[in-house]
A and B are shown apart, each in its own frame.
Chain A
Amino acid sequence: MLTAFMSYLGSEVSPGVAGNQLWALIYVLIIFAGVSVAVICMNWLERKALAHFQVRLGPMRVGPHGLLQPIADALKLMLKEDIIPAQADQFVFWVAPLIGLLAAFTVYTVIPFGPSQAVSDMNIGILFMLGVSSLGVLGIVVAGWASNSHYPLIGALRSSAQMVSYEVAMGLAVISAILMTSLNTSGTGTLSMIGIVQAQQQQGIWFLFKFFPLGLIAFAIFAIAMVAEVNRTPFDLAEAESELTAGFHTEYSGLRWSLFMLAEYAAMIAVSSIAVTLWVGGWMRPFPNLLHAPAWDFIFSMFPGLTFGGLAAIAFIGTVRMPSHSFFRIQRIGLAVFAALLGFLALFLLFVAVVGHFASAGVALPVALPPKAADFLRAIARFSDGIDYVYWFVLKVAVFMYLFIWYRATWPRYRFDQLMKVGWKVLLPISLGVLILTAAVGVIVS
């Protein structure tokens, strides 16, 4: 086991490709924990951002600035009574949230957080991803059916129709991105998620800007369809609060309901990751080819540390600005500790970036290092690179997540038939046209 652990450390490919099951498992656990934490953060951020859009404060009581609110809510939901309606189909009712959750989390097996920072690199990665992510609808449909109640049933019907129609436009938009990969230097296209990002690197352009404006249009279609795919405003018909009370999860409460929410947010992150991978260069930092000198590498590798430093500063300013009333003393201490944690994290990341830079730049040291120490330095350099990749990936995903919140604050909800109209009469023809044009331009160019 130790050899399995150690043998992978120097590897340059993802554990799935290297055939190292131990590390694959470690990656799965890291991703599962990371996504769960991201969902918690997203929950807090959405409530705060939405509140500030709407001239209110949002959660403020549980922890400083409501930082512990998601945890308090999760605890509350876990402690609630587990209700299964008497008329419901008990087993299906029980299994429905798990289907949604599994579908949302399985997608992460092929999402590349970096060239080797993925569980696996499947040669049909994007296909796998589309297939699994559209399984999420099964959870919703099954939940609506098993509840044996009218509102959930209508919600489930809406959801199934919606997903089916938006899947098509989404798939076509994805195909035009895949076509663009076939123009890379080797001349063959790829369905591998890692391959798609590498193709963008080799061609020196994000597919967003490829064949301008074709890439942009395909991206826009994908960006619209992905909102519909995860049932968010303005396409949140399946749970349309003001029409169907809560749509497909009307009859759900407690932990099962929270599983639906977890699945929804995980799916949001997953589709954003697909968008980032396909169009916005995945893990690549801005201008990886143009600004390629080691000095640039060093500057960009400082970004993660600086970001956390900035967050620490914001938290620290929050501590200073908190009212000095004794009522806030515990909150002040809590926020100060949080700021300190962020600050330490920032320092650690900066340290890793600096050491990694010197290790990879091969600066001549006055004394010769023992081989073990040299290995260790190389490992740090690799770790530093990994942090960079994950940082830029997460940053791009975060932009999309913010957009989801922004949409929710701004737009009303589409009606069912209008949604279908947009899907079939607008998005589908445009995406078909873009696909054909992309193919034509690709043939002409190559």
Chain B
Amino acid sequence: MSAPINERSNLDLETPEKPYLDSNELIINMGPQHPATHGVLRVILKLDGEKVLGTECVIGYLHRGVEKIAENRTYTMFNPYVDRMDYVAAVSNGLGYCEAVEKLLNTEAPPRAKYIRVILTELNRIASHQLWLGTHALDIGAMTPLFYTFRDREEILKIFEKYCGARLTTHAFRIGGCQYETYAGFEKDVKNFLTFFAPKIDEYEALLTGNRIWLERTKNVGVISGADAIALGVTGPVLRASGVKWDLRKAQPYAAYSEFDFEIPTGENGDTFDRYMVRMIEMRQSMRIIEQAVNGIPEGPIMGKVPKVIKPPVGEIYHSIEAPKGELGYFIVSDGSTQPYRVRVRPPSFVNLQALDVMVRGMLVADVVAVIGTLDIVLGEVDR
């Protein structure tokens, strides 16, 4: 067969010539065109029958050089590009970038802008989790939740569209605050969404949580211990499901998160079902945050004191936020010019994807798609 893909490949793809009707391992290519790899992920599976002996992820099919583009754009011009990384949670990406540059400029957004940011980011978290739930359920074979979640996600996207004109790649925030004041009726729309959405989560759970087949497919599948997860740098719901209570919204509060009362759900076993439950509870907690933020949104300016031409002082900064998929970090090096010298993104999907091999070794082919689904990767973010 073919040679190893590279020297560091953890799969031995050389298989010796064997006679007809032998029983050697099966090397199978899952992706980049595959219904369950969430885009263009390619996973090379080494199988013994249906049992997975090893995996190797081949990524880069969606590489657009986002980090390199940053070096040739001004700080303001680069802002929309980050939306294209994790395109299902564009608001979170924008928040992380804007806060990182603000930190570099040693400035801060005004309180009202921070509240708007929290509301939109948490709405986006719900939208991202909805998309995860629909596709994850579809991977495991349940078709219907996908349509329910997309129906309800539409309400969030409508709010985004009314606020900033875009539904997916929103570019909602600017460095220093927000470009747009909330539209008339924004608070009412958000509150309406909260009352609309609360029974919908119950609807999703009615379809899945107690379902025997769903339990069998998710319990004890793709188990990763808390220590392993930390060692691999896994963050977000995947880490919390393994029992590690680590959420940047609490651990290093940013935006206005220190002012809200919410809980961080954790799991115990670190299996797919725990990750499912953690995300379901997170959606409810996000609703709590949104409710508090909408009720307590202060008056005032929405744009901080930021110069027209952004020229941060020489230096470097690392700022990270809790994106729906985990820790999203921006490392920005400034050489004092209008363009960043280097931008490095720490994407949660990319780091979490490393855990795939640990989680699926010894499991079956069907579990590979379940685990890819539960890791909640977005290939735009993995490849950047």
Contact of B143 among A54, A157, A415 (CB under 8 A): A54
Among the 9-residue stretches B255-263, B298-306, B363-371, the one with 4 or more Cβ atoms under 8 Å from chain A is B363-371
Q: Are B50 and A411 in contact (CB under 8 A)?
A: no
In the complex the two chains form, what is the Cα distance from A146 to B96 in whole Å? 53
Q: Are B139 and A242 in contact (CB under 8 A)?
A: yes
A414-B28 in contact given A233-B141, A240-B141, A245-B34 (Cβ < 8 Å): no
Q: Are B142 and A411 in contact (CB under 8 A)?
A: yes
Q: Does A416 contact B (CB under 8 A)?
A: yes
Q: How far is the CB of A236 from chain B (nearest CB, A)?
A: 7
Contact of A414 among B50, B146, B148, B217 (CB under 8 A): B217
In the complex the two chains form, what is the Cα distance from A233 to B144 in whole Å? 13
Interface centre among B28, B49, B211, B213, by most A CB within 10 Å?
B213
Contact of B142 among A157, A158, A237, A412 (CB under 8 A): A412
**CB-defined contacts of B28 to chain A, threshold 8 Å:** 150-151, 154
Interface string of B156-199 (1 = CB under 8 A from A): 00000000000000000000000000000000000000000000
Q: Does A82 contact B (CB under 8 A)?
A: no
- Residue ID in chain B nearest A246 by CB atoms: B35
**CB-defined contacts of A325 to chain B, threshold 8 Å:** none
In the complex the two chains form, what is the Cα distance from A298 to B141 in whole Å? 47
Q: Are B138 and A242 in contact (CB under 8 A)?
A: yes
Q: How many residues of B contact A (CB 8 A)?
A: 33
Contact of A413 among B35, B140, B148, B364 (CB under 8 A): B140
- Residue ID in chain B nearest A233 by CB atoms: B141
A154-B141 in contact given A242-B36, A415-B217 (Cβ < 8 Å): no
**CB-defined contacts of A416 to chain B, threshold 8 Å:** 50, 364-366
Q: Are A242 and B144 in contact (CB under 8 A)?
A: no
Q: How far is the CB of B370 from chain A (nearest CB, A)?
A: 8
**CB-defined contacts of A53 to chain B, threshold 8 Å:** 144
Q: Are B216 and A414 in contact (CB under 8 A)?
A: yes
Q: Does A418 contact B (CB under 8 A)?
A: yes
Interface residues on A, range: 20 to 34
Q: Does A202 contact B (CB under 8 A)?
A: no
- Residue ID in chain B nearest A411 by CB atoms: B213
**CB-defined contacts of A157 to chain B, threshold 8 Å:** 49-50
A413-B144 in contact given A150-B26, A243-B366, A245-B35 (Cβ < 8 Å): no
In A11-65, the 8 Å CB interface with B consists of 50, 53-56
Q: Does A417 contact B (CB under 8 A)?
A: yes
**CB-defined contacts of B61 to chain A, threshold 8 Å:** none
Interface string of B194-229 (1 = CB under 8 A from A): 000000000000011001011011000000000000
Q: How far is the CB of A53 from chain B (nearest CB, A)?
A: 6
Interface centre among B26, B138, B214, B365, by most A CB within 10 Å?
B365
In the complex the two chains form, what is the Cα distance from A158 to B366 in whole Å? 12
- Residue ID in chain B nearest A234 by CB atoms: B213
Q: Does A375 contact B (CB under 8 A)?
A: no
Q: Does A73 contact B (CB under 8 A)?
A: no
- Residue ID in chain B nearest A418 by CB atoms: B216
Q: Are B147 and A56 in contact (CB under 8 A)?
A: yes
Q: Are B141 and A236 in contact (CB under 8 A)?
A: yes
In the complex the two chains form, what is the Cα distance from A409 to B141 in whole Å? 10
In the complex the two chains form, what is the Cα distance from A415 to B367 in whole Å? 8
In the complex the two chains form, what is the Cα distance from A415 to B208 in whole Å? 16
Q: Does A378 contact B (CB under 8 A)?
A: no
In the complex the two chains form, what is the Cα distance from A244 to B37 in whole Å? 12
Q: Does A408 contact B (CB under 8 A)?
A: yes
Q: Are A412 and B36 in contact (CB under 8 A)?
A: no
Q: How far is the CB of A240 from chain B (nearest CB, A)?
A: 7
Q: Are B369 and A243 in contact (CB under 8 A)?
A: yes
Interface centre among A243, A413, A416, by most B CB within 10 Å?
A243
- Residue ID in chain B nearest A410 by CB atoms: B144
Q: How far is the CB of B15 from chain A (nearest CB, A)?
A: 13
- Residue ID in chain A nearest B372 by CB atoms: A242
Q: How far is the CB of A122 from chain B (nearest CB, A)?
A: 38
Q: Are B147 and A242 in contact (CB under 8 A)?
A: no
A234-B141 in contact given A411-B211, A415-B216 (Cβ < 8 Å): yes
Q: Are B364 and A242 in contact (CB under 8 A)?
A: no
- Residue ID in chain B nearest A409 by CB atoms: B144
Q: How far is the CB of B84 from chain A (nearest CB, A)?
A: 26
In B331-384, the 8 Å CB interface with A consists of 364-369
Q: Are B141 and A242 in contact (CB under 8 A)?
A: yes
Pairs of residues from A and B, 10 with the lowest C-beta to C-beta distance, nearest first? A413-B141, A54-B147, A412-B142, A242-B36, A412-B141, A412-B140, A415-B366, A242-B139, A150-B28, A412-B213
A158-B50, A413-B217 known, 4 other contacts, Cβ within 8 Å: A242-B139, A242-B141, A243-B36, A412-B140
Cβ contacts A to B, 14 pairs, < 8 Å? A50-B143, A55-B151, A56-B147, A154-B28, A154-B50, A242-B140, A409-B143, A410-B144, A410-B207, A413-B141, A415-B366, A416-B50, A416-B365, A418-B216
